[in-house]
Chains A and B, each alone.
Chain A
Amino acid sequence: LATSVPPTFDLGLLLINNPNPLDPASTRGPELEPYLAAVARENAQSLLSEIWQRLPAERVEDAVVAPLPPPSTPLPREKPPPKPKPPSRWEEFARLKSIRRNKKEQAVWDEATGEWRPRWGYGRADPSKEWLLEVPASADPNEDQFGRLKKEKKERVAKNELQRLKNISRNMRLGGTLPALSAGGGGATSSSKELKRALVVAKRSDASVGQFSAKVGGEKVGHLQGRRRHFLPNTGSLTAERGIQEQVLKELAARRTDPLNTERAVNRLQQQREQSGDAANAVDGRRRPQKKKTAGKVSTEGGKSRRQNARDSKSRKYKKAAASGRANQKMKSLMKSKTLGKRK
């Protein structure tokens, strides 16, 4: 009686570990393939039954789902481990000369205002914001001291930026990776979409919310990115405003479907008919001499063209309608009013 070891499972990796050896008799000859298939089927069956037995099943939109636990088997590394960052030129120099970082206090005593000021950031004693600068004895009296400070700061910033880029290029040359962008969420700039997002965030992360950030070539910026809305300037040239107004007026004019106002023409015609009908049928008891009318039939004067006949027929239609209206009104007035004379 062969005792079989029960299989172990790592459900997080959908792994079944069956350590039982294969039957040596069945692995020879023609029964190899069906035997292996049978073994695989049994193992798969036990894996599935273990999943549905062990894990709690949930129902998600007419599908029964069992969430897998985290994997318990340690797997070997997929990618090689990251190389340590090679030290920059300054770090190398500091190591050689054994220069250590001095931890600096955040607050500095500012003599001018007589109070403690932060060393950096909001409220610092910025030398570029001095209102008075002494001209040193060694300097040219016509030199602009404020301009000199600004220029020097610009040069320092540019030099720092250059050093930083040099370090990055050295890293890349020695087989490193690009430094992570903090705006991209801590190094997760794998896709181009995330990179674009990081660019947008970086551009608007200044005091003017990116209004003056230069546009990088080929960059598409949505006009309403960020919470701030952009309005036209209040005073100044009114051309942009006029442009918008012209545009809107054009759209309104395009929407108008009936420039000739046929409804108005038809109404006018109908009113004329009604008015002329009213004049003929005055309801005041006195009969007015009425012209005899031929009801319905219209005589055709010989030799008219078809088009003329058609036009006549249209006007006839209106006259007929008006005439029938007049006739009705006449009847009504006769019914209503009391005629003093004899009716003809």
Chain B
Amino acid sequence: MRPLTEDETKAVFEKLSKFIGDSLTALLNRADQQYCLRLHRCRVYYAPEPTMKRAANVQRKQLLSFGTCLGKFTKSNKFHLQVTALDFLAPYAKHKIWLKPSAEQQFLYGHHVTKAGLGRITDATPQYAGLVVYSMSDTPLGFGVAAKSTLQSRKADPMALVCFHQADIGEYIRSEATLFG
């Protein structure tokens, strides 16, 4: 486990700011406890400092996870967001998309969202913005990237893709083995 280098911090913050924008400072400067970001086996963990100190006492090979895993760095040092970060990022989401009940299941299986499944979308969403995907009952389902801006999606035909799938809560069951390394 080690703190992130400058390049790694930049990659993580860029990704997070696509989804939560300026609220990134709220994640870092918290009132209750000092939270920190740590890198362990290519995964970025977000944990309060006392938890991190305790986790530092575990052997590297035997430490599975601590705090919340925000995402992982790939072999070519790109940062991918994981669904385990949903609880922390959903309240601060800048752009949201609500899915119709018929499209929920498709999204939870890992497919992209078509116009036919689009319930609501935050207005003035630019194209390729980071989205947090909700169901109609305001349950966060996962992360996505806007394939079309709000205006474009209004004029799109029903089979066109509106949101690219990035992570969903169905992964807790589908990718159980790989989600925690």
Q: Is the CB of B3 within 8 A of A232?
A: yes
- Which of B3, B24, B53, B150 has most chain A Cβ within 10 Å? B3
In the assembled complex, which residues on chain B have CB atoms less than 8 Å from the CB atom of A133? none
A244–B124 CA distance with the chains assembled, in angstroms: 32
- Judged by a CB distance under 8 angstroms, whether A231 is at the interface is yes
Q: Is the CB of A247 within 8 A of B14?
A: no
| A237-295 with Cβ < 8 A to chain B | 238, 241, 244-245, 247-249, 251-253, 261, 263-264, 267-268, 270-271
Given contacts A252-B14, A263-B126, A267-B124, contact A234 B9 (CB under 8 A): no
| B1-58 with Cβ < 8 A to chain A | 1-6, 9-10, 13-14, 17, 22, 24-25, 28, 34, 36, 38, 49, 52-53, 56
In the assembled complex, which residues on chain B have CB atoms less than 8 Å from the CB atom of A270? 151
In the assembled complex, which residues on chain B have CB atoms less than 8 Å from the CB atom of A241? 3, 36
Q: Is the CB of B36 within 8 A of A267?
A: no
Q: Is the CB of B56 within 8 A of A234?
A: yes
A253–B14 CA distance with the chains assembled, in angstroms: 10
- Judged by a CB distance under 8 angstroms, whether B123 is at the interface is yes
Q: Pick the contact of B24 from A249, A251, A271 — CB < 8 Å? A: A249
| A188-241 with Cβ < 8 A to chain B | 231-235, 238, 241
Q: Is the CB of A238 within 8 A of B49?
A: yes
Q: Is the CB of B34 within 8 A of A238?
A: yes
**How many residue pairs at the A-B interface have CB separations less than 8 Å?**
51
In the assembled complex, which residues on chain B have CB atoms less than 8 Å from the CB atom of A268? 123-124
Distance in Å: Cβ of B7 to nearest Cβ of chain A: 9
Whose C-beta in chain B lies nearest to the C-beta of A240? B3
Distance in Å: Cβ of A83 to nearest Cβ of chain B: 54
In the assembled complex, which residues on chain A have CB atoms less than 8 Å from the CB atom of B124? 261, 263-264, 267-268
A252–B14 CA distance with the chains assembled, in angstroms: 7
Distance in Å: Cβ of A289 to nearest Cβ of chain B: 30
Q: Is the CB of A249 within 8 A of B56?
A: no
In the assembled complex, which residues on chain B have CB atoms less than 8 Å from the CB atom of A231? 2-3, 5
Distance in Å: Cβ of B1 to nearest Cβ of chain A: 6
A270–B150 CA distance with the chains assembled, in angstroms: 12
A209–B64 CA distance with the chains assembled, in angstroms: 31
Interface string of A95-116 (1 = CB under 8 A from B): 0000000000000000000000
A216–B32 CA distance with the chains assembled, in angstroms: 46
Given contacts A238-B49, A268-B124, contact A248 B10 (CB under 8 A): yes
A249–B36 CA distance with the chains assembled, in angstroms: 15
Whose C-beta in chain B lies nearest to the C-beta of A263? B124
Q: Is the CB of B123 within 8 A of A267?
A: yes
In the assembled complex, which residues on chain A have CB atoms less than 8 Å from the CB atom of B56? 234-235
Given contacts A248-B6, A249-B24, A251-B10, contact A234 B123 (CB under 8 A): no
Q: Is the CB of B3 within 8 A of A264?
A: no
A233–B3 CA distance with the chains assembled, in angstroms: 7
A232–B52 CA distance with the chains assembled, in angstroms: 15
25 contacts between A and B (CB under 8 A): A231-B3, A231-B5, A232-B3, A234-B38, A235-B52, A235-B56, A241-B36, A244-B4, A244-B6, A244-B9, A245-B13, A247-B6, A248-B9, A248-B10, A248-B13, A249-B13, A251-B10, A252-B13, A252-B17, A253-B22, A261-B124, A263-B126, A267-B150, A268-B123, A268-B124
| Chain B residues within CB distance 8 Å of chain A | 1-6, 9-10, 13-14, 17, 22, 24-25, 28, 34, 36, 38, 49, 52-53, 56, 123-124, 126, 150-151
